[in-house]
Structure 1
């Protein structure tokens, strides 16, 4: 299994960082490679590497088709969409993500996620709300400095199909409020509650980071302090945080079973796992289902499956299987941290 995970990652990396993607029709060879994988056990490593390369290339082609068309680059258009995350405020500027986009007079595959800047701080959209903006959109490109940060690859790995800025216009308005059934509504509500109840606190930004995975309100001085002390990574909600929440609610489920939940027909372990699963999913949703939380959920699911089916799976195998599943779901994740 670890060798299969290595082949999967190498194939995806070759597609992501290669000079050029193969033509999309090469993906038609994937069924042939999969058949050879089952009937030629001595060459499975190479075949799986080829399968991962073809699969990743096909997925990358699909995502690139949704990038902003060059014919609409640097054009001012009316853009409507749902605010996909908690907006970040920085010195008179609001940075936000829009999803479920609808661009006026746009032809071609519609971009799915846009990263926009709004140079004002009086009207702050809330996560989950639908807005319409007059914005100047651009293709998500970066600088051509091979020694510097690859901003274009960073945007691609996060699914950003368009960037730009919002112009000062009377057309900018809210179309609909956030639905209470969405995770973004509760993320924004919890963030607002933290701001209101912790107005006199010294570290509200840290509380938001640990509760919601949102680090946009951490002051620069605190960020530098965390980085210099080597504990900045603890603010990124990942396996550690998901594991702590899962363990706490697993114990809570076992305790609640003794208090009377045994009458529902489930045994103690099943009740405990039910509590743990709901808690892990809820915490991951509050964190915006970021890549680290998705990795942790997959590992947690593998552990639950192994215990439920009474199969023995060691740590290395579970990590390898989680890597394979993550690359299958989204090959762009190999370029993320």
Structure 2
């Protein structure tokens, strides 16, 4: 039997092409996996299993009556697939949560054996890496029973600080570590680190302890994909030590983006070209097409092969192999998975000499991606990648009579416009210069840079010199492109930021996309312009005259507080900055301010110089206009041209709200920078808040002597709840109804101290902590007796949150 007859005998068309309800099943499964995102706790899987079984029974009944209306059958097929998607996603979620580190093990030393996953990230002062636990060797002291299954087979995220060796992907290690359950700061409209940990299947985070126990057990296997990824990444770095674009080439070759600078990311963000670093369908298709070259050469040299196996089958098989290898080298991220699945489906269709509708390809890819990773819908790349492919197919279908260059212009313009709502929702901004930038960047990268990078990867095993030359050419080409993008990014209008859109305005903007995609000449098509207006003119709600609101952001072990009046914004402290590179100003405060529609800060006050209070200042000063900066000591006076000293007696009034600085004064004498912290009281005549930083009890007694009127409805707890602050006399003088602690989960200082917590409880004061509440929002009104408090973690909790 000929090879092509053997292939035809597999009847792939009955598996892939003749599934009449593939689109319905894919949509139902997707909706089921998506529905779980609205739950605060994972749903009871047995209920949805019963629903699914009932729907299956009904489907079997209806399908027996061929003359019956299709609508009930379609509805039941959706119900079956919806239940299956919800059930499957819930099961995966339960599996991840069941593997979480036991709470009694947090902060205690354990010994584990496992393997380094992916390429370790080397940073100043630390190495961060993923670790798959093979077995638990030693449980925490005092923990008894059979603990052999704890963490076994699951991934954790580790940092190695002191005496760190050079780690390599695929190595097996014995480590002594200290872990905690997945946790992250939780604020409105900012990156949800807990969600990211959950979608990555990470069941704990922590760090490696300095110990003689730590030892490398074996090198990485020769065949390990991440080992080859790391070798390629290292080879590019060694070949281009002086090239600024070397990190970008690493991203294109093996999806290693750790060394890309903040400036480079900002240029790509402002020009809407960040997607170029995703291993897309164009990259995968380019690699797959290389599989046909050796087949064509061999079949040309040996014509008798045509009688054994058609070129299209041999080339498709080799193309699938090439595409799979490249996907592994690229880290097999979500965009890569989606691109790989679509390319494989197209190649399978080519084997069968059949054309396949794009909608069916998308449906199969959607099902495959969700079966592989049912939590994929929680990521922005899932939505953007599928939306982009669907839009490209739709736009090309509309423009099939146009010339190729006209199609390219129309598709690029249409894609940039149609993706604006999704981009705005996920990132709070969109690039106005993106259509122009991508018209240049996409053909430049896919036609010049990527081929050179891939050729370098292919020749690397044979000649490092030739690989280096190819990468050098790619770097020069990419540098020219980046010079153009840099010019584009410097335009003040390049990036448009918008406040967090309410769901109804998002639906209106999506309706605008649907109207715009209607064929030319259709009535109402140009109403899409009206539907897009909310993206440009909508403003977030602000307090009325005489009102103000307080937001204590969840920045971990630090402090960042925002007071907003009707027309002004006041920022008190800017959160921490860590040696790992995390900057709360850039990662938390700026995205939150942007989501609230804040485009400038009228006054910023840094209470004192400790990094947990001033760490984010530089990022904020660089990104936003700040009209006035107040600091507590002269050593910080060079931070900003308008810097002044906060001193007792300084007052101002905004929109019916008074701001009064109470501390420090020119006569304050102390050796502690904490005791020289700025203290400010904000009041609208009816309600007030007292903002203190890290003052101790000695300063509290001094303020009690100096000011007869300290009473405030809300008190920001001093020094994160340290036992050196919050004396009983202080609480009696302030008489707050509500107290707020800003502290980090399982922080090294034990804040807030149990004695302090007990003191507030005895005084009958409601105590809120960012540890348990996330960001805390308080509304103050001149017409209401009580303040209104909203704890974000409690009121907006999702099932993946602690």
TM-score (norm 2): 0.40
Establish whether residue 291 from structure 1 lines up as the match of residue 312 from structure 2: no
Instruction: Name the SS for the 1:133 alignment partner.
Output: strand
- The alpha-carbon deviation at position 262 of structure 1 amounts to 5.3
Match of 2:117 among 75, 84, 101: 84
The alignment's C-alpha RMSD in Å is: 2.3
- The alpha-carbon deviation at position 237 of structure 1 amounts to 1.3
* Contact residue 127 and residue 164 of structure 2 kept, 8 A: no
Which structure has more relative contact order (CA 8 Å, sep 6+)? It is 1
Establish whether residue 332 from structure 1 lines up as the match of residue 375 from structure 2: yes
Measured in 2, the distance between the counterparts of 1:24 and 1:89 equals 42
Establish whether residue 188 from structure 1 lines up as the match of residue 209 from structure 2: no
What residue in structure 2 maps to residue 23 of structure 1? 44
Specify whether residues 38 and 90 from structure 1 end up closer, same or farther in structure 2 by C-alpha distance, changes over 3 A only: farther
What residue in structure 2 maps to residue 207 of structure 1? 249
Measured in 2, the distance between the counterparts of 1:262 and 1:118 equals 59
Specify whether residues 125 and 59 from structure 1 end up closer, same or farther in structure 2 by C-alpha distance, changes over 3 A only: same
Measured in 2, the distance between the counterparts of 1:261 and 1:208 equals 40
What residue in structure 2 maps to residue 150 of structure 1? 192
* Contact residue 48 and residue 83 of structure 2 kept, 8 A: no
Matches within 5 A, 1:6-21: 6-21=27-42
* Contact residue 55 and residue 79 of structure 2 kept, 8 A: no
- The alpha-carbon deviation at position 147 of structure 1 amounts to 3.4
* Contact residue 254 and residue 269 of structure 1 kept, 8 A: no
Specify whether residues 229 and 67 from structure 1 end up closer, same or farther in structure 2 by C-alpha distance, changes over 3 A only: same
What residue in structure 1 maps to residue 640 of structure 2? none
Measured in 1, the distance between the counterparts of 2:227 and 2:340 equals 22
- The alpha-carbon deviation at position 120 of structure 1 amounts to 4.7
Matches within 5 A, 1:87-166: 87-106=120-139, 107=147, 108-111=149-152, 112-120=154-162, 123-166=165-208
Any idea what the Cα deviations from partners look like across 1:172-213, whole Å, max 9, x if unmatched?
Answer: 221110010111221122222222222233322112111101
* Contact residue 84 and residue 127 of structure 1 kept, 8 A: yes
Measured in 2, the distance between the counterparts of 1:51 and 1:88 equals 38
Instruction: Name the SS for the 1:15 alignment partner.
Output: helix
Instruction: Name the SS for the 1:84 alignment partner.
Output: strand
Match of 1:304 among 347, 356, 377: 347
What residue in structure 2 maps to residue 230 of structure 1? 272
Match of 2:323 among 276, 280, 298: 280
- The alpha-carbon deviation at position 327 of structure 1 amounts to 1.4
Measured in 1, the distance between the counterparts of 2:28 and 2:291 equals 36
- The alpha-carbon deviation at position 249 of structure 1 amounts to 3.0
What residue in structure 1 maps to residue 285 of structure 2? 243
Instruction: Name the SS for the 2:213 alignment partner.
Output: coil
- The alpha-carbon deviation at position 10 of structure 1 amounts to 1.7
Specify whether residues 298 and 36 from structure 1 end up closer, same or farther in structure 2 by C-alpha distance, changes over 3 A only: farther
Measured in 1, the distance between the counterparts of 2:303 and 2:288 equals 19
- The alpha-carbon deviation at position 113 of structure 1 amounts to 0.4
Establish whether residue 60 from structure 1 lines up as the match of residue 124 from structure 2: no
* Contact residue 36 and residue 90 of structure 2 kept, 8 A: yes
- The alpha-carbon deviation at position 272 of structure 1 amounts to 1.3
Measured in 2, the distance between the counterparts of 1:88 and 1:262 equals 51
Measured in 2, the distance between the counterparts of 1:262 and 1:173 equals 57
- The alpha-carbon deviation at position 227 of structure 1 amounts to 2.1
Specify whether residues 73 and 270 from structure 1 end up closer, same or farther in structure 2 by C-alpha distance, changes over 3 A only: same
Measured in 2, the distance between the counterparts of 1:194 and 1:261 equals 40
Any idea what the Cα deviations from partners look like across 1:150-183, whole Å, max 9, x if unmatched?
Answer: 2111111111111111222222221110010111
> More helix per residue: 1 or 2?
1
Establish whether residue 219 from structure 1 lines up as the match of residue 240 from structure 2: no
Specify whether residues 161 and 205 from structure 1 end up closer, same or farther in structure 2 by C-alpha distance, changes over 3 A only: same
Any idea what the Cα deviations from partners look like across 1:267-308, whole Å, max 9, x if unmatched?
Answer: 211221122112101101111222222112211222122232
Answer with 1 or 2: which has the greater Rg: 2
Measured in 2, the distance between the counterparts of 1:144 and 1:280 equals 39
Measured in 1, the distance between the counterparts of 2:303 and 2:378 equals 45
Any idea what the Cα deviations from partners look like across 1:203-244, whole Å, max 9, x if unmatched?
Answer: 221121111011112222222222222211111213221122
Specify whether residues 221 and 147 from structure 1 end up closer, same or farther in structure 2 by C-alpha distance, changes over 3 A only: closer
* Contact residue 169 and residue 226 of structure 2 kept, 8 A: yes
What residue in structure 1 maps to residue 214 of structure 2? 172
Measured in 2, the distance between the counterparts of 1:285 and 1:109 equals 29
- The alpha-carbon deviation at position 73 of structure 1 amounts to 2.1
- The alpha-carbon deviation at position 251 of structure 1 amounts to 4.0
- The alpha-carbon deviation at position 87 of structure 1 amounts to 0.8
Measured in 1, the distance between the counterparts of 2:328 and 2:165 equals 26
- The alpha-carbon deviation at position 132 of structure 1 amounts to 2.0
- The alpha-carbon deviation at position 102 of structure 1 amounts to 2.3
Measured in 1, the distance between the counterparts of 2:366 and 2:178 equals 38
Any idea what the Cα deviations from partners look like across 1:117-173, whole Å, max 9, x if unmatched?
Answer: 112585220011111222111111223434332211111111111111122222222
* Contact residue 79 and residue 104 of structure 1 kept, 8 A: yes
Measured in 2, the distance between the counterparts of 1:34 and 1:141 equals 40
- The alpha-carbon deviation at position 32 of structure 1 amounts to 4.3
